[in-house]
Structures are given as C-alpha cells and as structure tokens.
C-alpha cells in the first residue's frame, strides 16, 4: 500500500506529532493527499524545547494545523520511578492526552510515525500503541527510516537529516528515579554541546557524573574543547566522563 492510498481510505485523523523525521514526513504526505489530518504535539518534562520549536517550524512550513498540549508525566509514579517498562506508561499518558483532545476536535482515528525500521517485539511503547489502536501508516506501507529521509529531502523538509533523538528520560538509567532537576541538567548539557557543533550524541547520567557518548569522528573535537566542556557541564554534574565506545 502507498501512503496516498492509505489517506484515500482514511481521510480524517489525528497525528501524534513530534517534529522528528517520521511524523514530519507523515504530516507532509497527509497534506499532499488532501486528507484532514490535525497534528498534536504533547509537551512534557521529557521533551526538550528545541523539539517543540521544530514542530512549530515544520507545521508552519506545511501550513498544517498544530495543537500543542501539555502533560505532567512525572505525576505518574510508574513513570517517575523509571521501571524497565517506563516507556509503556509514558506512551499511555501521551496518547491518551492526544486521544482526549482529538475526540473533542472530532477526530477518532489516531496515527503515529512508527516506521518499518522500528522493531516491534515487546517494546513497551509498541504495546501502548496496540492497546490504544493507534495506526502507523509508515510501518503499514513498508517505509523504512532511510527511505523516509530520502523522500523528506525530495519534499524539501528540513527534518530530512535531523538526527534521531530519544526523549530526555532515556539518559537516566532504568531503576533510578526521574526528577525534573535531572532532566533539566540533561537538557542544559546537551544544549551546550549542540551550541558547540556536536551532533548525534548523548549525555547520560552515570551516578553523579555526565557520561558523554559521541560519534567517533567527534572524539577529537571533544578533547580539543575538553576544558570548556568540563567547566560548563560541572555546573550540573560532579564529574564529566568521555565514553570511548563511540556511538554507531
């Protein structure tokens, strides 16, 4: 099935919109097909500010209808405690928030940007999508991440080469409670590294230290800027570590 065929059959839906590569292209395809698809972005403690800015920018580029919602995910003990299935509980909150708002707006079908490269297995987040009957058109149409990037570039979407970005909660080891202070430290540290030109990296919490995971090609730059990076990140962490196992 082609995406155009999907939207011919499903002309009205709400889209869980993150401002990332996949949901951006899905929103574009829906607009191209003439479907009535409204985008919903949920701002929680787990999303950095730049994701909201990207979502607004992309929606503006496409002249798409974007509704911004808010959810306090840490109010749920099963999220704040950070168990191995935290993502399941968080996804439930986010998608139930969208479903409630979409229902008020007259949208019954809920879509997300899961693609054909995403392994389903027993991933907690996928379980939440199944339980809430969320449709994933990119996956249903067999579109892989690489293909979506190519199509996004052809469509002129600025998101085509945007690095994959997991939520801030993934920087905190499973089993360690999540707090707004830890999330704020992560966002500030990563924003600083972004400002220096680093890309596709992670700043993970390791005890009281920041563990920097960088692509191999950026290791030398990190060492060149070692003093300023350490000075800035020690505003939030007791120590700064460089993980020599480079990100793939």
14-73 pLDDT, tens per residue? 999 999 999 999 999 999 999 999 999 999 999 999 999 999 999 999 999 999 999 999
Domains along the sequence of the chain with CATH: 3-161 (3.40.50.620), 179-247 (3.30.70.2210)
Contact 136, 129 (CB under 8 A): yes
Within 8 A by CB and 6+ apart from 118, the residues are 126, 139, 145
C-alpha distances out from residue 15 to 24, 94, 248, Å: 10, 12, 30
Residue pair 64/39 in contact by the 8 Å Cβ criterion: yes
The set of residues, in sequence order, having a beta carbon less than 8 Å from that of 143 and lying 6+ positions away, is 3, 115, 116, 151
Residue 160, both tokens: 């085509």
Q: Is the pTM of this model over 0.85?
A: yes
Rounded Cα gap, residues 54 and 51, in angstroms: 5
């Amino acid at each position: 099935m082609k995406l155009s065929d999907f939207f011919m059959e499903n002309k009205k839906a709400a889209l869980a919109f993150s401002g990332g590569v996949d949901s951006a292209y899905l929103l574009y395809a829906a607009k191209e097909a003439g479907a009535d698809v409204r985008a919903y972005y949920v701002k929680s403690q787990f999303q950095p500010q730049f994701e909201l800015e990207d979502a607004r920018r992309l929606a503006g580029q496409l002249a798409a209808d974007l509704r911004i919602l808010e959810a306090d995910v840490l109010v749920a003990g099963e999220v704040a405690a950070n168990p191995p299935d935290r993502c399941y509980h968080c996804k439930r909150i986010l998608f139930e928030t969208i479903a409630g708002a979409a229902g008020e707006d007259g949208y019954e079908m809920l879509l997300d940007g899961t693609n054909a490269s995403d392994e389903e297995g027993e991933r907690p987040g996928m379980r939440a999508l199944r339980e809430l009957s969320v449709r994933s058109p990119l996956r249903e149409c067999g579109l892989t991440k690489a293909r979506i990037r190519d199509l996004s570039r052809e469509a002129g979407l600025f998101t085509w080469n945007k690095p994959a970005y997991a939520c801030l909660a993934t920087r905190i080891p499973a089993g360690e409670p999540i707090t707004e202070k830890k999330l704020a430290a992560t966002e500030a540290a990563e924003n600083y590294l972004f400002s220096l030109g680093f890309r596709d990296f992670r700043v993970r919490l390791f005890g009281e230290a920041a563990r920097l995971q960088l692509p191999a090609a950026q290791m030398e730059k990190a060492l060149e800027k070692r003093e300023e990076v350490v000075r800035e990140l020690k505003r939030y962490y007791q120590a700064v570590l460089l993980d020599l196992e480079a990100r793939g």
